[in-house]
Amino acid sequence: MKHNKSAYFTALLYALITGNAFIFVKTAISNANPYDLLAYRFNASFLAIIILLAFRVIKVKYNLKRIIQILPVTLFYPIAFFALQTFGLKYLSSSEAGIFSAISPVLTLILASVLLKEKTTRLQKVSVFISVLGVVYIALMKGTSFKVNSYKGIILILLSALSFSCYSILVKKLSNKATGMESSVLMNFIGFLFFNIIAISKHSTNGSLSGFFIPLGNIKFVVSILYLGVLSTFLTSFLVNFTLSKLDASKMSVFSNLSTIINIVAGVIFLKEDLFYYHIIGSILIIIGILGTNFMVKKHLNN
């Protein structure tokens, strides 16, 4: 337990940051198309990395073997995960997206059991489902109603959840070959190249290259991009990579549902939103699920 204190702290910090990511994505996507949003998100992330490297705040060391080991991870995260999530939010609200993103811990639990041979007790499995139930309960009680074309968003968000689960498994296997920072920097660099090439190519093809810079005139877009790029892309990728080097993938993944509680608390404090009974009930279920997955099963696993 003492050995994992830092991992639990980084997992909590990850949940804190991602708790409001959907809101910033929805704000940014109302001012730019998904391709430009993804490009700017990674522009902000990569700029932060350049500054940190220049001032020697972070240090990385690569060789060809290490780069080849990390590259497959980048296909699932950031490329597939962020692309699918961003396009999915074109068709779903942040609450609706939260329902289907909540399935990620279940997918991770299954993949970790099969591919990583992680041992999970019946109590741990039940705890993961309780956490997911808490997220779904809150979203449904808020009066979520899916539109006719919502199925597109549902499929995209489910695929993004699967991408994150696959990424978690690959990073866990990679944790003894590369540091969390080395993985994070290369992942963000690949995202920077990929999404900028896509966005600029589309603008060049349409003869609208100047349109790529128009969103920068909107202060809400710039603030959203800074949050999404620096905190919710670069920093969270490091937090996840570090946490997965210390905890089982199934234990880490369930913390993603804690972001739902963070979202509720932020809404009450900063947006003066109402707090209803179902928020409390759902939050209790999420917390029980996280505690059950990470702590209550320890004795059983050791037996």
pTM summary value: 0.86
- Report pLDDT digits (tens) over 269-286: 876 778 889 999 999 999
What is the widest separation between alpha-carbon atoms in the chain? 65
Domain residue ranges of the chain, discontinuous segments joined by +: 2-302
Confidence category of residue 297, pLDDT binned at 50, 70, 90: low
Query: What pLDDT was estimated at residue 300?
Result: 46
Confidence category of residue 147, pLDDT binned at 50, 70, 90: low
Query: What is the arithmetic mean of pLDDT over 169-195?
Result: 93
Given a contact cutoff of 8 angstroms between Cβ atoms, the answer to whether 99 and 150 are in contact is no
- Report pLDDT digits (tens) over 88-127: 888 887 777 777 888 899 999 999 999 998 888 888 899 9
Distance set, CA 137 to CA 81, 141, 162, 279 (Å): 24, 6, 21, 9
Of 105, 110, 123, the closest CA to residue 260 belongs to 105
Coil, helix or strand at residue 163: helix
303 has a pLDDT exceeding 60 = no
Query: What is the arithmetic mean of pLDDT over 172-179?
Result: 87
Q: Quick one: the chain helix, strand, coil %, rounded to 5?
A: 80, 0, 20
Give the helix ranges, DSSP H, for 81-175.
81-88, 94-101, 104-115, 122-141, 150-174
- Report pLDDT digits (tens) over 157-171: 999 999 999 999 999
